[in-house]
Structure 1
């Protein structure tokens, strides 16, 4: 009678030293992904991070998990602080129009950062060969930030939103998607048009969902 095959769940290293190595790996991976594409070898990433390939695999199960971390790290740098500020302000008594407008301005600035644009371009270029890249972007971007945005909007007494998932997509579409579409072609909206898209987009959103 054969033995039962068991698998053990990988536990990434912990502690301050491990955290520094993990951060170095993520920085190196971002650099190498943007320089060579998703086909870059893990050994090249390890060399750039000045760690062994074994160390990379101690922290990440494979290249897909590492890429997800790279995308999440870049989007956290670009959007995380403004999202947390928005959640805090919407939980208080701040004017909702002012908060959403300021947040949208920060988001537009964040998604226009060179490293974010470069990652989006990489995903678009490699999507046919590596469809998991698009999934990583969706999970670390729109899906990840939808949860706190939904919770913050749902807590407002001055809004009536029956379908929160739809409302979040509509908000993205009004204030972010025009910039994403233009940036995909290497173009950038002029500042006046960008500002009008934000302010009128917020007004349209609030006009529809005001309680």
Structure 2
């Protein structure tokens, strides 16, 4: 964290301005791309450019705040479902399908898909943007799934020798098709997306389930 971020304004009024800046930045990045000027973002937020820089010392750090905030909001519901229900569930298939549906829904809404595409496009110039996405997206949620799957293994419901690998496999089955096709502007139709989730969970459980 930079000195400028540590010295960012605090208090209710400052928090309100920060929220306005982040919301304006999200819209600006999605409509004009990463090269949008800080002047445009400041004008959209109704603050001065100085105020923007008081909160964020660079456009890269502002973009990182946008990404982390969007992922936090989108994945909180999924995280809660997995943490509160999956590990101790008596109907693992049903709970895993529910969690995966929430997971896919959270990451395939148009704004989230557009933001992900922008992160991928800018990661060559600014690798830290990709690292922010990984930290607040896959790494965060995969750890939550790993904890629940470990618990199911401890209960003797599943037999998973490598939990980290298993989470990546689950993601590949239920989420990756949506992200691959979504990158070209064509996410699978809703019915197909749900079939992928249900079939993916069934394949996962057929491999790791204990008979």
Same fold (TM over 0.5): yes
Shift in Å, 1:27? 0.3
Q: Distance in 2 between matches of 1:208 and 1:11?
A: 51
2:206 & 2:166 partners in 1: Cα distance?
Answer: 12
Where structure 1 has 5 or more consecutive residues not aligned to the other structure, the ranges are: 1-6
- Residue 97 of structure 2 corresponds to 101
Q: How many residues align?
A: 205
Tell me which residue corresponds to 1:181.
180
Residue pair 1:78, 1:113 contacting (<8 A) in 2 also: no
- Alpha-carbon distance change, 161 to 11 in structure 1, aligned in 2, over 3 angstroms: farther
Task: Work out the CA distance in 2 between the residues paired with 1:160 and 1:53.
Answer: 55
Give the SS at the match of 1:201.
helix
In angstroms, what is the RMSD of aligned CA positions? 2.2
1:70-89 mapped onto 2 (5 Å cutoff): 70-89=66-85
Q: What secondary structure, in the 3-state scheme, does the structure 2 residue paired with 1:93 have?
A: coil
Q: Counterpart in 1 of 2:158? A: 159
Q: Which residue of 2 aligns with 1:3?
A: none
Once the two structures are superposed, what CA deviation does each residue of 1:54-83 show, in whole Å capped at 9, x if it has no partner? 322332232222212211222233332122
Q: Give the TM-score taking structure 2 as reference length.
A: 0.86
Counterpart check, 1:67 vs 2:63: yes
In the alignment, structure 2 segments of 5+ residues that lack a partner are none
Report the 3-state secondary structure (helix = DSSP H, G, I; strand = E; otherwise coil) of the residue aligned with 1:155.
helix
- TM-score normalised to the size of structure 1? 0.86
The answer (yes or no) to whether the contact 2:5–2:55 under 8 Å persists in 1 is no
Query: Measured at CA, do residues 17 and 70 of structure 1 come closer, stay the same or move farther in structure 2, by a change above 3 Å?
Result: same
Q: Give the C-alpha shift of residue 88 in structure 1.
A: 0.5
Determine whether 1:55 maps to 2:51.
yes
